[in-house]
A and B are shown apart, each in its own frame.
Chain A
Amino acid sequence: MAKKELLKVEGLKQYFPIKGGFLGRTVNHVKALDGISFTVYEGETVSIVGESGCGKSTTGRAILRLEEPTEGSVTFQGTDLTKISTREMRKFRKDLQIIFQDPYASINPRQTVASLLNEAMHIQNVLPANERRARIEELLETVGLRPYQADRYPHEFSGGQRQRIGIARALSVDPKLIICDEAVSALDVSIQAQVLNLLEELQDEYGLTYLFISHDLGVVRHISDRIIVMYLGKIVEIADKTSLFENPQHPYTKALLSAIPVPDPDAVKNRIVLKGDVPSPIDPPAGCRFHTRCPFATDKCRTEEPLLRTTSAMKGEHEAACHYIEEIAAGTMIEK
């Protein structure tokens, strides 16, 4: 099956200015994204993982131009979204939807579910007004709610149900790509499993493509086809799901995976406990950004930035950004 490119992100940078001094001048920048590139193919689920502040949400927001990117391009079905007018961008909002973590934050509490969905369809002009009510009821059934709940307010629903409303709203405009930013993170596991299954069923039924942002590697392994690992505004590894979990190459990916507690008291643990905290994105370390915490860091790591690359031990489109992939695999690097 030929893969069809849906979204291509190239050299994306997002610098947020830090104002300071009594003149309120820009004194510095938070380098939230510092040149990331990746492609999303039609019908697949690509996840972005990494620790708090590494730039996951910023990536999603920059793609949707909820924030104007500092540099780089975001090509959606052949159109560079960073080059078009705000007006033209509005049309693309129909194809690119986002679901957030906190359903409360993205749902107007004074609007009934029906009016919320109606508004979304009205803005994107998806259906004639007289056909919308039927569609709303159908959408509610699709996401596992009841048609009679259309006239209720968000506070009358549980967290999991509000997340379903968020999904129904995204679906109401027939999108191609849905960015899910920690969409199931706030849910209890029993409800989370319901919503994850729903997202998978909807993908099969409507051929949806997901860009799935999450810090939960269990959820990510479950839902993804491919995975992007970020650290401090950069991509450090990108691979298909199996390769990433079974054959991780970047020292950060390995540490991240090893740090997750396993729900099995008999599991063999080879934990790599990283020292210290993630450095500030205002003044990220030179060379490899991970060098302050990496057990293998050398002088080269402190000065030269490693680029994403592949080795003979890596299958498919698996890439990692580390100078010493081969040496670490061969066990010839000295660990500190």
Chain B
Amino acid sequence: MNEMENILVVNNLQTTFKTDAGDIRAVDGVSFTVPKGKTIGIVGESGSGKSITSLTILRLLASNGRVNGGEVLFKGKDLLKLPEKAMREIRGNQISMIFQEPMTSLNPVYTVGQQIGETIQIHKKVGKKEAIQQSIEMLKLVGIPSPEKRVKQYPHELSGGMRQRVMIAMALACDPEILIADEPTTALDVTIQAQILELIKDLQNRLGMSVIMITHDLGVVAETCDYVAVMYAGQVVEYSDVRSLFKNPKHPYTLGLLNSLPRHDIEQEKLIPIKGMVPSPHEMPVGCRFAPRCPVATELCHNKMPQLLNTNDSNAEQIRCWMFSDEWDGDSEVTLYGEKRTIKG
């Protein structure tokens, strides 16, 4: 069905952290594909495993973290099996990442020019002078006014929005094929966020890269993504194209999330919250992880974990919910967050 080339395919990723209180399965069943030149969103609430997913892909986990299973196929090659040296090449040249907090990833004692210049020197194998020149070009590209002046400044002399632009300039300095953006605008004001999102989209169109946009903001997802993976408690529960996700959300959690969202663009009567709260990573439910909060959970849901399965015969849409399987043991008509639904089974 899918004619598009997938530049990245993530299959059933499993990442565990050792802690004093026992092991945490931070990522436990994450799968998605990134078609070339497209943007895929990873959306989910705090602690659902979004950042750990991206750090696992780039193999940048903290020392107490371990990948227990799954594969990360970048142009067919499993990144999890590469030697560290080859991985370093990929990280600098083909897959770049920008982080939520630019201050933590910019070095305060070096000027903006030195930092971008270093990346350029390493990856393009050019001299220092040329690197600075190219840094100025990069700053211009990301829309920083008077870039000749800015290259000589230190990160603390820039505003939050400008720092984020510098981060993007650094990430793009090596012409990556994939840009992973982890909450790139969460710390910014909306008018600045609008500038940065526009910038990322514009650069993507010009440079033809693929983007993995990690966010908890459903507005950002709707606006920037082509495909979306919804995460809950370390797992992808729904993967689909952005339009189906918003127009026809299938997983009860996705529906609950959309119903909880206060909107600025329309008048809403009442919010319909999801009851309860996310399970503690130390006490994950044995069955469906959403079962303790799901309004239609059944015996089966509580006892057996559903798999992430294709809904049609294409893999463009996948759901992790018993309701979409032949094994469903609940009613064939259910009401979910005020919405009536008939289950085909």
Contact = CB atoms under 8 A, between A and B. Distances in A.
Interface of A: 51-52, 158, 160-161, 188-194, 196-197, 215-223, 242, 245, 255-267, 269, 271, 273-274, 276-278
A190 B276 CA distance: 9
Interface stretch (B120-128, B134-142, B192-200, B302-310): B192-200
B242 A265 contact: yes
Given A188-B46, A190-B257, A215-B189, A264 B262 contact: no
Contact of B256 (A158, A190, A258): A190
Contacts of B246: 263-265
B190 A51 contact: yes
A220 B222 contact: no
B270 A260 contact: no
A188 B218 CA distance: 12
Interface residues of B, number: 48
Interface in B152-174: 159, 161-162
Given A196-B271, A266-B243, A261 B197 contact: yes
B218 to A, nearest CB: 4
A259 B192 CA distance: 9
Given A51-B191, A189-B45, A194-B273, A261 B243 contact: no
A48 B159 CA distance: 23
B338 to A, nearest CB: 13
Contacts of B191: 51, 255-256, 259, 273-274
Contacts of B278: 188
Contact of A221 (B242, B243, B260, B263): B263
A37 to B, nearest CB: 25
A190 B275 CA distance: 8
B223 A261 contact: yes
B297 to A, nearest CB: 16
A10 to B, nearest CB: 28
Contact of B260 (A189, A216, A257, A265): A189
B274 interface: yes
B289 to A, nearest CB: 14
Contacts of B262: 192-193, 196, 216, 218-219, 221-223
Contacts of B34: none
B216 interface: yes
A218 B263 contact: yes
A52 B189 CA distance: 7
Given A218-B264, A256-B190, A273-B198, A263 B273 contact: no
Nearest to B48: A188
A222 B197 contact: no
15 contacts: A189-B218, A190-B274, A192-B262, A221-B263, A222-B271, A245-B264, A259-B193, A260-B264, A261-B197, A262-B219, A264-B265, A267-B265, A273-B191, A273-B194, A277-B159
A241 to B, nearest CB: 9
The interface centre, meaning the residue of A158, A196, A260 with most chain B CB atoms within 10 A of its CB, is: A260
A31 B246 CA distance: 43
A132 to B, nearest CB: 28
Contacts of B145: 276
A230 to B, nearest CB: 13
B221 A263 contact: yes
B222 A191 contact: no
Contact of A261 (B217, B257, B273): B217
Contact of A193 (B159, B190, B264, B272): B272
Given A189-B45, A263-B219, A263-B222, A197 B273 contact: yes
A263 B161 contact: no
Contacts of A194: 273, 275
B257 A189 contact: yes
B311 to A, nearest CB: 19
A189 B277 contact: no
B268 interface: yes
Nearest to A160: B277
B190 A259 contact: yes
Contact of B273 (A193, A223, A273): A193
B219 A260 contact: yes
B323 interface: no
Interface in B205-237: 216-224
A153 B159 CA distance: 38
Interface string B239-271: 000110011000000001111111111011011
A275 to B, nearest CB: 8
Nearest to B224: A261
Contacts of B220: 261
The interface centre, meaning the residue of A222, A242, A255, A263 with most chain B CB atoms within 10 A of its CB, is: A263
Contacts of A276: 145
Contacts of A160: 277
A242 B264 CA distance: 11
Contact of B189 (A51, A192, A257): A51
Contacts of A266: 243, 247
A220 B46 CA distance: 22
Contacts of B263: 218, 221-222, 262-263
A271 B193 CA distance: 12
Nearest to A220: B264
Contacts of A264: 222, 246, 265
Nearest to A191: B277
A49 B339 CA distance: 33
A265 B241 CA distance: 10
A158 B279 CA distance: 11
B273 A271 contact: no
Contacts of A263: 218-219, 221-222, 246, 258, 261, 263
